Structures are given as C-alpha cells and as structure tokens.
Copies of this chain bind each other. A is one copy, B any other.
Amino acid sequence: MGADFDPSKERLVAGLMSGTSADGVDVALVRIDGSGVNVSVSLVAHDVLKFSTAVRQRIQSCQGAAAGSARDITLLDAYVGELFAHALLHLCKKAGIGPEEVSAAGSHGQTLYHNPTPTPLPGFTVTSSLQVGNPSVIAERTGITVVSDFRSRDMAAGGQGAPLAPYLDYILYHHRSRSRIILNIGGISNLTAMPAGAGLDDLIAFDTGPGNCLMDLAAWHYSGGKQTFDSDGAMARKGTVDTDMLAALLDHPFIKKAPPKSADKEEFGTSFLDQILLRHAGMPAQDILATLAAFTVKSINSAILEFCIQSARYEEIIVSGGGANNPVLMESLQAALPKLIITRSDEYGIPGKAKEAVLMAVLADATVHGWPSNVHAATGARHPAVLGSITPGGSFFEKAPTRTGLE
C-alpha cells in the first residue's frame, strides 16, 4: 500500500458520519501524527451537510425492523454514498485541500438497522448491523481510500459493535493522574469511564440510555413538526418534573442492565414516546419535556453511580454531543453530581459537534495501518480487532496498475 500509510509521517484523514436521526452528514478533516493510541489528532476543518426533508424521509423509510425493501435499500446505498462523497469534496474545497492530499476517509455510513441481540437462525446465531453509503461510490468520486463498515468485525468477534467512541476518547482524554468520565449526549447517550493511568483495555464504556432522542421527538410532536428539538431546553425549563412518570421511565430494563450494553434508537423511539404520551394524556407539554430531560439526566447519573464509581474516584465529566448545548441538561447534570467538574469537550481542542466525524477519521487511520480500534472491554468482543473494510483509492497501492495486453 501507499507511502501515505507510513505512520512516521503526519497525514490528513477525513471522517464522515450520519447519525441514526438522519439529520445530515458530518464531515471532518483531521491531521494525525504518530502511531497506535499515541497519535496526536487535530481538527483542520469540519462541516455539516444537512439533509433535506425529502432525503431524511427517504432514509427513514428504510430504517427500523420492517422498513425498506431490497430495491429501496440498494438504491439508498448508492445514494447515501453520493451524498457522503459530495459532503467530503465540498469540505475539501472549502478548506482549500485537494482530495489527493487526503490519505484515507472513514465513513460510518447511515445505519438502517442495528441488531446486537444474538438471533438464532438455522445453524448459526447472528448479530449484525446494516450501514448504507456505498464506499466504492465515495472512493470513485473522491479518489480517496475509504474505510467503512466499522461495526461488523467487532460484532463478528462477539461484540455489540458499539460504542466505537471510547477509542477516540482514550486518545484525546486519557490522563496519568486524573480520572475522567467522557459523556456523549447524542440521540442515545453513551459514556466512557477512564480511571487515571488506565490502558485502552481497562476502560468502562456503554450506552446509558436516551440522550436527546425522546426530547427531540416530543418537541417535534408538540410543535406539529415545526421544531426538531427543544432549543436551549426552553420548553423543558418552563415545566415541572412529574416524579411518578420519571420513576416509571427509570424502571426501563435497559437502564438497570449492567454494561456492556448498547441501545437501539428504536428502544427509545416513536413507539416508546407514543406509549408515554398515551399514559399521560392530560399532562402539559412542558411537563412532559421537563420529565424527559430529567429521565436523560437521571439515567446518566444512575449509570455513573451504579456502574462506574467502583473503578476510580472520578473528578471530571467531559460532555459532547447535542446535549452539551442544552443548558437545562447541563445544569441538571451538575446538580445531580455536585462534586464533579463538568466541562464541554470543545475546551479540549475537538469541538463536540465534530467529534463523531473525527472518530471516523481516527478509526480509518487505525485500520489502514493495521491497528485494532475496538475497545473490546466496552463492546463485549472477545478480542481487539482491526475494524472495517478498505476500498482502495488512487494512492492505496504503491505501484501503477499492470494491465498490459499480452502473450
């Protein structure tokens, strides 16, 4: 493979991510130097290409157990590939970087279905995850070597294919003398607990339960589709937490389950919210929002108290994801955990909003060098694994291709 993959040289790597909520493509250009978990990572450029409503609906029509069809999913695979390629080329242009300067691009793809539950079929029990966004389309349009399908290898090795974030968390936030919890509040919320001086295989990492997903769905519901989230927690702030409803929510088996565990968006999705709204039909919208916000905070709080504090005396929580921008969540979290210093990941060089795309870049860089990047203690996999599949771009092979006519 190409000289670009010499780990003694600094390289530019791209990352592409679209979350389960299908809002748009997050794309990052990252400068990486060094080797293995000792790499240094700095953000060069970041952008979000928002999906139109039509695109989001096309994606959503293929998400979930019974959704989609062979044809719709096949078309979507190429289509999301085109969208990702477009986003990547657009960011390169904006940053004044030629695609030929980019050594690799990590593409998460768009998840259609994630099934970490061992499912018996004749002769084999399987777990699996389906991401669309065909890497050959991205490699062909950009000329860049693409690494994709990061979750499948970990799952094939007995893991849940999630969370992937702890690898980057470790690289960015490991500390010899401070014990830290790294919390990402996206649609689903996940944390990585990192005792002072811990190695990559000593981390505790898992999904804590809902992040913004239920609040987002409720904001959408109450605004008649006009708001996709409760901006600044404005609605939640006006409401009062209903303690009975909160207690019932915290009774959810996922919250009580010991890690490793990963949550499906569907687990805290539309049908879950519908049940809540039905059961509390008379409750004012702001009280529902306030209680859902409290559910997110209490489930995080409970995860820390139940599953983390045995391992170290944690001093700091570093928060990223959309939830870091919701002052109601951040204030409640501080109130629930008064002894911990709560900071936002933005203060550590990688803005929270770019973190998932940066993760994809770091994972791609690991894979093209042959470095395992699953945190198997977090995913439950039996061993470290080099993640994903490599679709060669123009510079992947050192030599020019042989295609001589012959005899």
Task: Spell out A's residues near B (CB within 8 Å).
Answer: 1, 35-38, 52, 54-55, 58, 62-71, 73-75, 77-79, 81-83, 86, 112-115, 119, 121-124, 126-130, 134-137, 139-141, 148-149, 152-153, 155-157, 174, 176, 197-201, 367, 369-372, 384-386, 388-392, 396-399, 401-407
Contacts and interface: CB of A to CB of B under 8 A. Distances in A.
Contact of A70 (B38, B65, B396, B403): B65
A69 B114 CA distance: 13
Contacts of A152: 78, 134-137
Given A75-B119, A390-B390, A70 B140 contact: no
Nearest to A52: B122
Given A82-B124, A156-B140, A404-B36, A389 B75 contact: no
A141 B156 contact: yes
A389 B390 contact: yes
A401 B121 CA distance: 34
B66 A67 contact: no
Nearest to A66: B69
Contact of A75 (B73, B115, B157, B370): B115
Main secondary structure of the interface of A (DSSP, over half): mixed
A304 B224 CA distance: 62
A171 to B, nearest CB: 9
B134 A403 contact: no
A75, A122, A129, A156: most-surrounded residue (chain B CB, <10 A): A156
B397 A370 contact: yes
B389 A401 contact: no
Contacts of A75: 115, 119, 121, 126, 128
User: What number of copies of this chain does the assembly contain?
Assistant: 2
A157 B369 CA distance: 27
A307 to B, nearest CB: 22
Contacts of A386: 392, 396-397, 401
A148 B136 CA distance: 11
A371 B370 CA distance: 21
Contacts of A122: 52, 54-55, 58
A77 B371 contact: no
A370 B389 contact: no
B371 A402 contact: yes
Contact of A74 (B112, B197, B390): B112
A73 B405 contact: no
Contacts of A402: 35-38, 369, 371
A78 B367 contact: no
A403 B71 contact: no
Contacts of A139: 153, 156
Contacts of A392: 367, 370, 386, 390
Contacts of A78: 126-128, 152, 155-156
Given A122-B55, A141-B156, A153-B391, A130 B73 contact: yes
A391 B148 CA distance: 10
A35 to B, nearest CB: 6
Given A74-B115, A389-B391, A404-B37, A156 B136 contact: yes
A184 B271 CA distance: 51
Contacts of A157: 140
22 contacts: A36-B401, A54-B122, A58-B121, A58-B122, A66-B70, A66-B71, A68-B69, A70-B73, A70-B112, A75-B126, A78-B156, A82-B124, A134-B149, A136-B149, A136-B152, A136-B153, A136-B156, A136-B389, A174-B406, A370-B396, A371-B403, A384-B403
